[in-house]
């Protein structure tokens, strides 16, 4: 079984798909942290909200309507959160932020139960991506390949924006030293808002693409939160490269761990995280050198 090429291809694709989903979530969270020093434990709840919005809108507008509008809805929710809670707590220290966003998780889980009920909601894969594709001797669902492609596309766009545009340069300056950036005439407040909302939209996008492959349940946000946090801590808080590296490490360790070392699987990733924290407490590729 393990000597078979198809097995490795299949598991690599599975790992990539998980990595890309985690990347969409962790990149927003990590850049928000890097720029604003804000720890948003409710990021997973935004992802769940995106999945629910996508599922609800898919019933009315079809899959693509949900796919496009869900991130916007999550971004709008993010904007509301920014002005009500986030902005005033930016300098409050990690514990206040952890607590407030932990409180938000409680509220979010119950709000989704209240609106959408306790039962899992499923939505169909869009017609374009139905079926399987034969690839290197394995057949793989096309929709999952789409997730991988979408993740890579988002990565490419973010890399371009961050390294090649003025806004990207301003964000990088803000991550390095926000006070100095403000002195140089960058409207740091507005940039924070922009980054926060885009991060929320990406979480919503992750929810929308995950909705057809996972079941949409009230606690899905809580379930994805820990993997997302592991990704950004392994990768290094605040850096795009770190989010990529962390997502890939998590995706591959989790997927191959499950098939090669099933007994130790779930402990494996935490042991890796502990090792990273001991050897490099700042993560593998932190934003600041």
Partner 1 sequence: MFAHTPLRLTTLTLLAIGSLAYAFVAGFFGLEILAEIAILAILVIALDLVAGFGGMVSLCHGALMGVGAYAFTVAANEAGLGAFPAMMLAVALSAALAFVIGAICARSIGIYFIMATLAFGQMAYSFVFQSPLFGGDDGLSGAPRPDLTAIGIDLTDSRAFAIYAIAMVALTYLVAAATLRSGLGRSLVGLHHNEKRLRALGLTVWRAKATAFAISGALAGLAGCLAAQHTQYISPGLLSWTVSGEALVVVILGGLGTLVGPIVGAVLFVVLKHEISAITPYWHAIVGLILIAVVMSRANGVFGFVEARMAARKSKPVLQKANADA
How far is it, in rounded angstroms, from Cα 218 to Cα 257? 27
Min CB(241)–partner 1 separation in Å:
19
**In the complex with partner 1, which residue's Cβ is closer, 38 or 192?**
38
Min CB(30)–partner 1 separation in Å:
12
Contacts of 119 (CB under 8 A, 6+ apart): none
How far is it, in rounded angstroms, from Cα 142 to Cα 181? 44
**In the complex with partner 1, which residue's Cβ is closer, 64 or 106?**
106
Min CB(60)–partner 1 separation in Å:
26
How far is it, in rounded angstroms, from Cα 154 to Cα 161? 10
Q: Give the count of beta carbons closer than 10 Å to the beta carbon of residue 5.
A: 10
Min CB(159)–partner 1 separation in Å:
26
**In the complex with partner 1, which residue's Cβ is closer, 44 or 66?**
44
Min CB(280)–partner 1 separation in Å:
11
How far is it, in rounded angstroms, from Cα 206 to Cα 22? 8
**In the complex with partner 1, which residue's Cβ is closer, 88 or 187?**
88
How far is it, in rounded angstroms, from Cα 31 to Cα 202? 12
- The three-state secondary structure class of 135 is strand
Q: Which residues of 56-89 are buried (b: 16+ CB within 10 A; e: fewer)?
A: bbbeeeebeebbebbbebbbebbeebbeebbbee
Q: Where do contacts with partner 1 occur on this chain (CB under 8 A)?
A: 33, 39, 85, 88-89, 92-96, 98-100, 102-107, 109-111, 113-114, 222, 226, 229-230, 233, 237, 263, 265-267, 270-271, 273-274, 277-278, 281-282
**In the complex with partner 1, which residue's Cβ is closer, 93 or 137?**
93
Min CB(266)–partner 1 separation in Å:
4
**In the complex with partner 1, which residue's Cβ is closer, 99 or 128?**
99
Give residue for tokens 């919503």: 204
Residues pairing with 31 in the sheet: none
Q: What is the DSSP letter of 134?
A: E
How far is it, in rounded angstroms, from Cα 87 to Cα 38? 10
**In the complex with partner 1, which residue's Cβ is closer, 93 or 131?**
93
Min CB(81)–partner 1 separation in Å:
11
């Amino acid at each position: 079984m393990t000597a078979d090429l198809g097995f490795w291809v299949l598991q690599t694709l599975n790992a990539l798909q998980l990595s890309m989903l985690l990347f969409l979530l962790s990149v927003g969270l990590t850049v928000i942290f890097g720029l604003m020093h804000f720890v948003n434990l409710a990021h997973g709840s935004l992802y769940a909200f995106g999945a629910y919005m996508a599922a609800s809108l898919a019933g009315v507008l079809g899959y693509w309507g949900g796919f496009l509008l869900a991130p916007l809805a999550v971004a709008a929710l993010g904007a509301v959160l920014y002005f009500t809670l986030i902005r005033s707590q930016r300098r409050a220290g990690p514990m206040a932020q952890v607590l407030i966003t932990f409180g938000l998780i409680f509220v979010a889980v119950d709000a989704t139960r209240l609106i959408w009920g306790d039962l899992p909601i499923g939505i169909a894969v869009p017609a374009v991506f139905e079926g399987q594709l034969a690839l290197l001797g394995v057949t793989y669902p096309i929709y999952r390949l789409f997730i991988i492609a979408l993740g890579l596309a988002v990565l490419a766009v973010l890399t371009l924006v961050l390294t090649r545009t003025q806004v990207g340069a301003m964000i990088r300056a803000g991550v390095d030293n926000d006070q100095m950036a403000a002195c140089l005439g960058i409207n740091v407040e507005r940039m924070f808002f922009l980054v926060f909302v885009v991060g929320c939209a990406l979480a919503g996008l992750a929810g929308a693409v995950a909705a057809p492959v996972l079941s949409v349940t009230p606690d899905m946000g809580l379930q994805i939160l820990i993997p997302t946090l592991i990704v950004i801590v392994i990768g290094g808080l605040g850096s795009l490269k770190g989010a990529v590296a962390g997502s890939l490490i998590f995706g591959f360790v989790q997927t191959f761990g499950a098939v090669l070392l099933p007994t130790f699987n779930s402990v494996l990733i935490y042991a890796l995280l502990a090792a990273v924290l001991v050897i490099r407490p700042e993560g593998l590729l932190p934003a600041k050198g």
